[in-house]
Structure 1
Amino acid sequence: MTSTRHRPARLLGALAVVLLLLASCGGKSDDDSGAPTAEDAGEPVRGGSVTYGLEAETGDGWCLQESQLAISGIMVARSIYDTLTAPNAEGEYVPYLAEAVEPNDDFTEWTITLRDGVTFHDGSPLTAEVVKNNLDAYRGQYEGRASLLFVFVLDNIDTVEATGDLEVTVTTEVPWVAFPAFLHSSGRLGITAQAQLDDAEACDRDLIGTGPFSLESWDQDRELVAVKNPDYWQEAPDGEPYPYLDEIRFAPIVEAEQRVNALEAGQLDLLHASDAPSFLSLDDLAEAGVVTNRDSTAFAEVGFTQINTSKPPFDDERVRQALVLAIDREDYKEVINRGLFTRATGPFAEGSIGYLDDAGYPTEQDLEAARDLIAEYEAEEGALPTITFQTGTTAQGQQIAVYLQQAYEDIGVRMDIANLQQDKLIDNAISGDFDMQAFRNYPGGDPDELYVWWKSGSPVNFGRIDDPEIDRLLDEGRSEPDPEARAQIYQDLNRRFGEQLWSFWSSWTTWRIASSPDVFGYTLDTLPKLPDGSDPFPGLATGHPTLGLWTTS
Structure 2
Amino acid sequence: MLHRRLKVTAAVAGVALLVAACGGGQGGSAKGSADAADEGTPQAGGSVIYGIENESNGGWCLPESQLAISGIQVARAIYDTLMVPAQSGEMMPFLATSVTPNDTFDRWTIKLRKGVKFHDGTDLTAEVVKNNLDAYRGKYEGRSATLFSFVFDNVDTVKATDPLTVTVTTKTPWPSFPNFLFFEGRIGIMGQSQLDDATNCDKALVGTGPFRKREWKLNNRFVAEKNADYWQTDADGTRLPYLDEITFVSMLNDGDSVESLQMGRYDLMHTSTGEDLERVEALADAGTINVLSTSDFADVTYVMFNESKPPFDNMDARLAVSQAIDRDEFVKLRTAGRQPVASGPFAPGSIGYLKNSGFPAYNLDEAKQHVAAYERETGKQLGFTMLHGGDPGSLTSMELVQSQLAEVGIDMKLTPADQAALIDQVIAGGFDAVFWRNHPGGDPDGQFVWWRSDSPVNFGRYQDPTIDRLLAAGRAEPDAAKRKTIYEDLNRRFAQQAHNVWLMWSAWAVSSQPKVHGILGPDIDGEPPFEGLAVGHPVSGLWVEQ
TM-score range, shorter chain: over 0.9
**TM-superposed deviation, 1:37:** 5.2
> Residue 41 of structure 1 aligns to which amino acid in structure 2?
E
Distance 1:274 1:314 in 2: 29
Judge which range, 235-244 or 432-441, deviates more: 235-244
Distance 1:504 1:463 in 2: 12
- CA contact under 8 A between 1:86 and 1:96: conserved in structure 2? yes
DSSP 3-state at the match of 2:63: coil
Counterpart in the other structure of 1:424? 421
Counterpart in the other structure of 1:529? 523
Residues 1:203 and 1:347: Cα distance change in structure 2 (over 3 Å):
same
- CA contact under 8 A between 1:79 and 1:545: conserved in structure 2? yes
Deviations 1:358-390 (A, max 9, x none): 211023x22122112111111121113531111
Q: Are residues 1:387 and 2:384 paired?
A: yes
Q: Are residues 1:494 and 2:491 paired?
A: yes
DSSP 3-state at the match of 1:404: helix
Deviations 1:454-477 (A, max 9, x none): 101211111112100100010111
Q: Are residues 1:550 and 2:543 paired?
A: yes
- CA contact under 8 A between 1:35 and 1:294: conserved in structure 2? no
Counterpart in the other structure of 1:184? 182
Counterpart in the other structure of 1:149? 147
Matched ranges for 1:81-120 at <5 A = 81-120=79-118
**TM-superposed deviation, 1:353:** 2.3
**TM-superposed deviation, 1:309:** 1.0
Q: Which runs of 5+ in 1 are unaligned?
A: 1-25
Residues 1:369 and 1:256: Cα distance change in structure 2 (over 3 Å):
farther
Q: CA RMSD in A?
A: 1.8
DSSP 3-state at the match of 2:64: coil
Distance 2:408 2:425 in 1: 27
Segments of 4+ in structure 1 off by > 4 A? 26-37
**TM-superposed deviation, 1:296:** 1.2
- CA contact under 8 A between 1:52 and 1:269: conserved in structure 2? yes
**TM-superposed deviation, 1:239:** 2.7
Distance 2:542 2:33 in 1: 14
Residues 1:92 and 1:491: Cα distance change in structure 2 (over 3 Å):
same
DSSP 3-state at the match of 1:182: helix
Deviations 1:322-359 (A, max 9, x none): 10111222222222222322111111112222112221
Distance 1:99 1:39 in 2: 27
DSSP 3-state at the match of 2:62: coil
> Residue 160 of structure 2 aligns to which amino acid in structure 1?
A
How many residue pairs end up in the alignment? Answer: 523
Q: Are residues 1:437 and 2:437 paired?
A: no
Counterpart in the other structure of 1:377? 374
- CA contact under 8 A between 2:302 and 2:435: conserved in structure 1? yes
> Residue 155 of structure 1 aligns to which amino acid in structure 2?
D
DSSP 3-state at the match of 1:65: helix
**TM-superposed deviation, 1:396:** 1.1
Counterpart in the other structure of 2:219? 221
Residues 1:31 and 1:276: Cα distance change in structure 2 (over 3 Å):
farther
Identify the match of residue 305 of structure 1 among 303, 306, 309.
Answer: 303
Counterpart in the other structure of 2:279? 281
Q: Which structure exhibits the higher relative contact order, with contacts defined as CA atoms closer than 8 Å and separated by 6 or more residues?
A: 1
> Residue 522 of structure 2 aligns to which amino acid in structure 1?
P
- CA contact under 8 A between 1:256 and 1:278: conserved in structure 2? no
- CA contact under 8 A between 1:29 and 1:296: conserved in structure 2? no
> Residue 461 of structure 2 aligns to which amino acid in structure 1?
R
Aligned residues with identical type, % of pairs: 50
Distance 1:528 1:117 in 2: 20
> Residue 42 of structure 2 aligns to which amino acid in structure 1?
P
- CA contact under 8 A between 1:33 and 1:293: conserved in structure 2? no
- CA contact under 8 A between 2:97 and 2:113: conserved in structure 1? yes
Distance 1:257 1:508 in 2: 25
Distance 1:176 1:38 in 2: 36
Residues 1:118 and 1:38: Cα distance change in structure 2 (over 3 Å):
closer
Identify the match of residue 137 of structure 1 among 129, 135, 138.
Answer: 135
Residues 1:185 and 1:50: Cα distance change in structure 2 (over 3 Å):
same
Counterpart in the other structure of 1:13? none
- CA contact under 8 A between 1:226 and 1:248: conserved in structure 2? yes
Residues 1:62 and 1:92: Cα distance change in structure 2 (over 3 Å):
same
**TM-superposed deviation, 1:60:** 0.2
Deviations 1:225-260 (A, max 9, x none): 000001101112343310000001000111575221
- CA contact under 8 A between 1:74 and 1:188: conserved in structure 2? yes
DSSP 3-state at the match of 2:84: strand
**TM-superposed deviation, 1:168:** 0.6
Distance 1:346 1:391 in 2: 21
Counterpart in the other structure of 1:11? none
Matched ranges for 1:27-46 at <5 A = 38-46=36-44
**TM-superposed deviation, 1:286:** 1.5
Residues 1:198 and 1:225: Cα distance change in structure 2 (over 3 Å):
same
Q: Which runs of 5+ in 2 are unaligned?
A: 1-23
Distance 1:338 1:290 in 2: 21
Matched ranges for 1:100-499 at <5 A = 100-254=98-252, 258-363=256-361, 365-384=362-381, 386-499=383-496
Counterpart in the other structure of 2:8? none
Q: Are residues 1:68 and 2:66 paired?
A: yes
> Residue 444 of structure 1 aligns to which amino acid in structure 2?
G
> Residue 528 of structure 2 aligns to which amino acid in structure 1?
D
- CA contact under 8 A between 2:387 and 2:435: conserved in structure 1? yes
